[in-house]
Amino acid sequence: MSSWWCAVHGYNHPKLTAAISAQLEQMSHVMFGGIAHPMASELGKRLIDITPEPLQQVFLADSGSIAIEVALKMALQYWQSLGQKNKNKLLTVRGGYHGDPFTCMSVGDPDNGRHDLFSHAIAKQLYAPRPEICFDQEWNEQDVKAMRQVLEQQHNEIAAVIIEPIVQGAVSMRFYHPEYLRQLRALCDEFSVLLIFDEIATGFGRTGKLFALEHADVCPDIMAVGKALTGGTMTLAATITTRKVSEGISSGNAPMLMHGPTFMANPLACAVACASIDLLLSTEDGSPYPDGWQAKVQQIEQTLQALHIINDHPAIASVRVLGAIGVVQMHEPVNVAKVQASLVEQGVWVRPFGRLIYVMPPYILTPEQQAKLCSSIVHTIKTLY
Ligand SMILES: Cc1ncc(COP(=O)(O)O)c(C=O)c1O
């Protein structure tokens, strides 16, 4: 599971440990209000380098969900600064997940039960149906029709659309068609609504591209990354936006984005994030990815295809693989206790939920370990179902 999808280089990589230790000997915390530090600027440069060209301004937040809160605040403050006071609603698709704080919950799937307990206190946002056409199916314009309708009717009150690009992760582990994102970009432009991509789960190579948006070749106005940003070592996330959005925000009554958590841009986390990005992109001798991270993720994708061997099993609804993500969807909810016990017995830890048994392995797994992961899941299903 790569520790909830973030420990892409495995645990205790010496380069990451060395980066934290070196920073620890200098400064472990810098209050980032009005004072900066070299590691934050190094990380900002790297993020600007590896994300699409229009994304130029970086806010370093302290966790994935806070990066989403920041993205949403950026969008809301942008329209306030421009004097468009009515644009204060958020639009999203069903089946999404963006974190557990209140505004994140408000743009998460309203029906999956995770946030039911708080529904009375969660702001009411706007929802379009989830994208239905799968990643490798034939595209059909109907898929984006309902989204167009909502935008057509309510764009005057909508600040932004937020979506997980390509992979709807924590709710359903579904891979949808890249054309959806291209059409969504065009709709947001047509109706003057900002587009936010939540790349917290998909960023840093997980889907076979450095960022999932590259499958569609579109650029959002705001993008959030987290999880694998520090290789799973420390909590850190980033919200990256365009000059247009940041200058728009600063043109209002408040000169800057109104957000400033105590641990933003923590120097230890920034140092290890720089080291993790360098490690991912390095092909030097001794790097875990001498042929490039893409080759490694492609190789994992290839091995995970072995899961398709149970396609025809009566308990299986579907099997899907994209990059270093393998998903087995059952017809009925998984008996988590039994499935986990069987897998642990074989030396494997995964965390099924709902009808899903899925894997997001660290990129450093050997082909043998990857094969074992697949064969253990297949064995478990064949013996328990
Ligand atoms: C797509 C997405 N957005 C946001 C989050 C929240 O990130 P964090 O748990 O770091 O707050 C998650 C976490 O799983 C996620 O998958």
Nearest CA among 95, 66, 23 for reference residue 269: 23
Within 8 A by CB and 6+ apart from 322, the residues are 135, 166, 167, 175, 207, 208, 301
The answer to whether residues 165 and 81 belong to one domain is yes
> Which of 168, 200, 230, 325 to probe ligand 1 with, by most ligand atoms within 8 A of CB?
200
Torsion of CA 58, 64, 67, 72, to 10 degrees: 140
Co-location of 237 and 304 in the same domain: no
Domain final residue, candidates 246, 281, 316 = 281
* Residue 283 near residue 291 (C-beta atoms within 8 A): yes
pLDDT in tens, 117-150: 899 999 999 999 999 999 999 999 999 999 999 9
What sign does the dihedral 354-322-3-210 (CA atoms) show? negative
> For residues 310 and 49, what is the distance between their CA atoms, to the nearest angstrom?
41
Find out whether 346 and 377 touch, Cβ atoms under 8 Å. no
Average pLDDT across each block of 10 residues of the chain; the chain has 385 residues. List them in order.
Answer: 97 97 98 96 98 98 97 98 97 97 95 84 96 98 98 98 98 97 98 98 98 98 98 97 98 92 97 98 94 98 98 97 98 97 96 97 97 98 97
| 169 CA distance to ligand 1 middle (Å) | 9
Q: Is residue 287 part of a domain?
A: no
pLDDT value, residue 243:
98
**Per-residue model confidence (pLDDT) at position 26:** 97
Residues 373, 243 share a domain: no
Cβ-proximal residues to 330 (8 Å cutoff; 6+ apart), any chain? 315, 316, 317, 355, 356, 357, 385
The secondary structure of 324-384, three-state, reads CEEEEEECCCCCHHHHHHHHHHCCCCCCCECCEEEECCCCCCCHHHHHHHHHHHHHHHHHH
11: left (phi > 0), else alpha (psi -120 to 50), else beta? beta
CATH number of the CATH domain containing 204: 3.40.640.10
Residue 286's pLDDT is what?
A: 87
State the Cα–Cα distance between residues 1 and 325, nearest whole angstrom.
10
CA distance 316 to 334: 11
User: Helix 178-190 to helix 145-154 angle, to the nearest 10 degrees?
Assistant: 20
Ligand 1, residue 101: give the atom nearest the CA.
Answer: 11
Examine the fold and report which residue of 242, 258, 281 is the final residue of a domain before the chain moves on. Answer: 281
Does residue 333 belong to any structural domain of this protein?
yes
- Please check whether residues 275 and 374 belong to one and the same domain: no
288 located within any domain: no
Q: Please indicate, yes or no, if residue 286 is contained in any of the structural domains.
A: no
Cα 227 → chain centroid: 8
Whether residue 317 sits in one domain with residue 266: no
For the chain, how many structural domains are there in total? Answer: 2
Domain end (from 253, 281, 309): 281
* 362 CB burial (10 A radius; 0-12, 13-18, 19+): buried
Q: Does ligand 1 come within 6 angstroms of the Cβ of 98?
A: yes
Question: pTM of the prediction?
Answer: 0.98
Strand partners, 325: 322
254, 367: one domain:
no
Is 99 a pocket residue for ligand 1 (Cβ < 6 Å)? yes
Same domain, 265 and 356: no
How many angstroms separate the CA atoms of 269 and 285, rounded?
Answer: 25
Instruction: Note whether residue 356 is domain-resident.
Output: yes
Q: Which residues contact 285 (CB under 8 A, 6 or more apart)?
A: none
Please give the torsion angle defined by the CA atoms of residues 353, 356, 357 and 363, in that order, rounded to the nearest 10 degrees. Answer: -90
Q: What is the CATH number for 342?
A: 3.90.1150.10
- Is 81 within 8 Å of 258 (Cβ atoms)? no
Same-domain pairing of 229 and 362: no
Give yes or no: residues 316 and 273 share one domain. Answer: no
Which residues span the domain enclosing 326? 293-384
Quick one: 308 and 254 in the same domain? Answer: no
131 shares a domain with 43? yes
Q: Is residue 376, in this structure, part of any structural domain at all?
A: yes
pLDDT for 99 equals 97
User: Looking at the structure, do residues 176 and 117 belong to the same domain, yes or no?
Assistant: yes
Q: What are phi and psi of 145, to 5 degrees?
A: -65, -45
State which of 3, 97, 325 you would mutate to test the pocket of ligand 1, scoring each by most atoms of that ligand within 8 A of its C-beta.
97
- Residue 303 Cβ < 6 Å to ligand 1: no
| pLDDT for 348 | 96
Asked whether 97 lines ligand 1 (CB < 6 A), one says yes
| Atom number in ligand 1 closest to CA 170 | 16
Instruction: Establish if 24 belongs to a structural domain.
Output: yes
